[in-house]
Every structure is written in C-alpha cells, then in structure tokens.
C-alpha cells in the first residue's frame, strides 16, 4: 500500500519535472530570439524546411476536405431546401475548426516529427555537444530558428488550407452540384464575421503552431540518444501534439464561441 503510494508520488514528480524542463527549454528558446535578428538566414532555412515543404500536403488536403464538405453538406442541406447556405457551411466549418485543427494535425505529422528526428539524431551523434564545445549555444543556434519557423508557418498554412478548401467547396458546390454562384458567395459574406470567425481561427492556428513546435523540439531535445530513443521520441511528438491540439481546440472553442 505504502509502496504504491510512493510510486504514485514518483510518477507525479516525474511528470512535474518533465513539464518544468519543457518550460525552461521554452524560456531559453525565446531568449534566443534577439540573437536571431543578426542571423536571419537561419530562420529562412528553417522556414523552407518547416513551411515550404509542408505546403503540398496542406494544399492537397485542404482542397479535398473542402470538396468533401461541399458534397456532404449539400446532401443534408438539400433535404431542407437550403442549398444556398452551402457556402456559409463550408466556410464556417473550415475557418473556425477544420482549417486550424487539421492543419495542426498534419503539421505535427509532417514537420513536427521531422524536427524531433533531426534534433534527436543531432543529440545521438553528439552534434549538440560538439556545438557546446565550440562555445555555440545549441538552443539559440538550433532550436530557436526552428521554433520561430513553426510559429510563423502554422497560421500561413492554416490560411492556405481554409482558402483552398473554400475554393474546392466552390468548385464542387457551384460547378458540380449546381448551387447558385452568387448565393454561395453573398451568403458566405453575410454570415462570416471578420473578427468572430477569421481572427479567432488565426489565433487558434498561432496557438497550435506554438504548441506543436514546442512539443516537437522538447521531445527531440529530451530524446534518449539511441536509435530506439529517437524513434520513441518521434512517435511521442505526433501523439502528444495531436492530443494537445485537440484538447486546446476544445478549450479555445469554448472560450471563443461558447459564451
């Protein structure tokens, strides 16, 4: 009995220590931002590998999600004779929820796992220790540009996802299913609010970008420096990021649209 209580305590302390190390790392990462201004090349290289390389999967899935939304939405809406509202439905669900959330999930799988694997391998091959030996702070040199790149890329990717999804929905709704062109856009413009819907969606994607990149970098930095440890860390990145995104999404939605 006492033994189990002690074990529970150990688990609790381990979790708290884990969270604490994550926050200390985040603090150090943010501390490196000022130094980054003198070397913007580092950030641009990371923007390429985190943002540009994620563009293809985000664009393709955004378009298809929009097209499927239009098909499914049309089926339900036509039963009420409300096909005209298809544009509102597609745009509202993309801008408010699917854009930020699906982008964040794809981002965790595409960019987050790559970040973890890269940093974990750098640790395993002692490149991080090597940098430290040369009096280069590996957090400022390696982690900060990657963190900032993820934070900047996420809202841009989410914006592309939503915009392409709406265009995909437009092609299916107007082109294929014969919804009226003017009603599609005018109802959308009448119902989608710039502050209520679009700003909140962008805020969501900033938060998700922050969380996903943070988790990916922390898992990479904390990885056990063996091939097995790196593979575990990569898996954990995807699992933890996805869970964090879904949990945060519920809290943010409740705060933004709940009351």
Partner 1 sequence: MVGAFIAAGLVALFFLSMKVSNLSTMSGGEGYPVDARFDNIGSLKVRSPVTMAGVRVGRVSDIGFDSETYEAVVTMSIDSRYDTIPDDTFAKILTAGLLGEQYIGLDPGGSEQYLKTGDQIQLTQSALVLEEIIGQFLFSKAEEGSNSE
Chain residues binding partner 1 by CB under 8 A are 44, 47-48, 51-52, 55, 91, 95, 152-153, 155-157, 159-160, 162-164, 166, 185, 188-194, 197-198, 202
Q: Closest distance between partner 1 and the C-beta of residue 191, in Å?
A: 8
How many CB atoms within 10 Å of residue 177?
15
Contact 102, 65 (CB under 8 A): yes
Contact 178, 232 (CB under 8 A): no
Q: Closest distance between partner 1 and the C-beta of residue 45, in Å?
A: 8
Q: Is the dihedral of CA 115, 121, 127, 132 positive or negative?
A: positive
- Residue 31 or 40: the one with the smaller Cβ distance to partner 1 is 40
- Residue 134 or 194: the one with the smaller Cβ distance to partner 1 is 194
Question: String of b and e for 27-58 (b: at least 16 CB within 10 Å)?
Answer: eebeebeeebeeeeebbeebbebbbeebeebb
- Residue 164 or 216: the one with the smaller Cβ distance to partner 1 is 164
Contact 30, 135 (CB under 8 A): no
- Residue 95 or 128: the one with the smaller Cβ distance to partner 1 is 95
- Residue 189 or 226: the one with the smaller Cβ distance to partner 1 is 189
- Residue 24 or 44: the one with the smaller Cβ distance to partner 1 is 44
Q: Closest distance between partner 1 and the C-beta of residue 251, in Å?
A: 23
| Residue partners of 99: CB distance under 8 A and separation at least 6 | 62, 158, 159, 161, 162, 165, 201, 205
Place of tokens 């009096």: 135
Q: Closest distance between partner 1 and the C-beta of residue 85, in Å?
A: 11
- Residue 200 or 234: the one with the smaller Cβ distance to partner 1 is 200
Contact 212, 245 (CB under 8 A): yes
Contact 184, 86 (CB under 8 A): yes
Q: Closest distance between partner 1 and the C-beta of residue 151, in Å?
A: 13
- Separation between Cα atoms, residue 77 and residue 85, nearest integer Å: 8
Q: Closest distance between partner 1 and the C-beta of residue 12, in Å?
A: 42
- Phi first, then psi, for residue 44 (nearest 5°) are -65, -40
DSSP labels, 61-126: HHHHHHHHHHHHHHHHHHHTT-GGGHHHHHHHHIIIIIHHHHHHHHHIIIIIHHHHHHHHHHHHTT
Q: Closest distance between partner 1 and the C-beta of residue 193, in Å?
A: 6
């Amino acid at each position: 009995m006492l033994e189990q209580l002690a074990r529970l305590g150990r688990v609790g302390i381990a979790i708290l220590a884990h969270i604490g190390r994550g926050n200390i790392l985040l603090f150090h990462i943010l501390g490196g931002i000022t130094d980054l201004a003198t070397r913007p090349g580092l950030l641009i290289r990371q923007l390429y590998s985190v943002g540009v390389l994620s563009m293809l999967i985000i664009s393709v899935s955004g378009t298809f999600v929009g097209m499927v939304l239009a098909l499914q939405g049309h089926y339900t809406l036509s039963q009420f004779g409300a096909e005209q509202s298809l544009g509102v439905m597609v745009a509202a669900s993309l801008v408010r929820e699917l854009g930020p959330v699906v982008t964040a999930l794809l981002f965790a799988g595409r960019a987050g796992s790559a970040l973890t694997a890269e940093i974990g391998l750098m640790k395993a091959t002692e490149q991080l220790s090597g940098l430290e030996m040369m009096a280069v702070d590996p957090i400022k040199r390696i982690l900060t540009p990657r963190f900032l790149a993820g934070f900047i890329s996420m809202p841009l990717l989410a914006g592309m996802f939503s915009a392409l999804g709406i265009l995909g929905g437009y092609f299916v709704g107007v082109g294929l299913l014969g919804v009226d062109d003017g009603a599609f856009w005018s109802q959308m413009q009448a119902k989608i609010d710039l502050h209520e819907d679009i700003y909140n969606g962008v805020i969501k994607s900033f938060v998700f970008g922050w969380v996903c990149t943070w988790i990916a970098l922390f898992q990479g930095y904390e990885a056990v420096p063996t091939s097995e440890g790196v593979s575990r860390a990569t898996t954990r990145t995807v699992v933890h990021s996805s869970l964090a995104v879904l949990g945060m999404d519920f809290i943010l939605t409740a705060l933004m649209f709940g009351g």
